[in-house]
Amino acid sequence: MRISRFFIDAPLSLGTCDLPEASAHYIGRVLRLTAGTAVQLFDGSGQEYAGALVEVGKKHVTVELRERFSGQAESCLKIHLGQGLSRGERMDWAIQKATELGAAEITPIISERCEVRLKDERADKRLTHWRQVAISACEQCGRSIVPTIHPPMSMSEWLKLEAELKLVLHPVAAPLASHPRPATLAFLIGPEGGLSEGEVAQARSAGFQPARLGPRVLRTETAPVVALSVAQQLWGDFQPDI
């Protein structure tokens, strides 16, 4: 039977410990797990901890961690996804799938055709929500390290990042497979309305090379799934380290 995995936002160690209030509430009040249930916890350090719930109360949960072991290895290809900011479930989907597909960093990008505008308290709430989406994806897919979800950033600022290979998706360009294998990769994907030609030119001036995924134009939430899948096949998860 599959053992439930939970991210704990606090350092873990072997032995008996009380879980943070938010984690205790979710395990005890939402999932209604009981004492004796086997669990597997991780704290983002790359280590996993196996054990069992010892006490489950209304406001607290105690767990005994009996075994520590190395978690799932991260991809040898470090990917930073610059994802055009989109509405609601589309952005959640992009972050969830990018996490499952091994992205190390994800930055929501504010560009000309973005239909979403976030300010102050609303922006903070969305960032907290996106980080929880990534945590939940890690719990499901087996990743032991949660990707960094950056606050929304203007495209001009994000383009300053460093990466061995920097790509912007474009329907008229050489295929992704035509590029040599990098160790670090930056992907720029436009919002629902796409990037303007001026923005593509701006990206190219910053060292980004156009790349296409195929003959069809993909939706903003589909593009990162395909792009990261192909990149991992070519240069990451399915390639031996060299």
**99-to-5, 155, 211 alpha-carbon distances in Å:** 16, 21, 22
Note whether 186 and 233 are within 8 A (CB): no
Q: Name residue 240's amino acid.
A: P
Residue 41: which of 57, 58, 18 has the closest Cα?
A: 18
Residue 51, Cβ density class (10 Å: 0-12 exposed, 13-18 middle, ≥19 buried): buried
Q: Which two tokens stand for residue 239?
A: 């390639």
Hey, CA dihedral for 205, 208, 211, 216, is it positive or negative? Answer: negative
Q: List, for residues 44-58, the tens digit of each pLDDT value.
A: 999 999 999 999 987
What is the distance of C-alpha 171 from the center of its chain? 25
Q: List, for residues 197-221, the tens digit of each pLDDT value.
A: 999 999 999 999 999 988 888 999 9
Average pLDDT over residues 32-51: 96
At residue 149, does pLDDT exceed 70?
yes
- Residue 241, pLDDT score: 56
Average pLDDT over residues 33-45: 95
240 — pLDDT class (breaks 50, 70, 90): low
Residue 219: which of 110, 78, 89, 123 has the closest Cα?
A: 89
What span, in angstroms and rounded, lies between the C-alpha atoms of 240 and 43?
A: 27
What is the distance of C-alpha 192 from the center of its chain? 20
Average pLDDT over residues 34-39: 95
Rg of the chain over all Cα atoms, to the nearest angstrom: 20
What span, in angstroms and rounded, lies between the C-alpha atoms of 186 and 228?
A: 11
Hey, CA dihedral for 211, 217, 218, 220, is it positive or negative? Answer: positive
Average pLDDT over residues 155-170: 95
Backbone φ, ψ for residue 109 (5° rounding): -105, 130
- Residue 123, pLDDT score: 78
Residue 90: which of 190, 168, 214, 230 has the closest Cα?
A: 190
- Residue 227, pLDDT score: 96
Average pLDDT over residues 140-160: 96
Average pLDDT over residues 166-186: 92
Lowest mean pLDDT among 55-59, 88-92, 100-104, 236-240: 236-240
Neighbour tally for 49: CB within 10 Å: 23
Residue 60, Cβ density class (10 Å: 0-12 exposed, 13-18 middle, ≥19 buried): middle
Average pLDDT, the chain: 92
User: Can you give the length of the chain in residues?
Assistant: 242
- The better pLDDT of the pair 174, 187 is held by 187
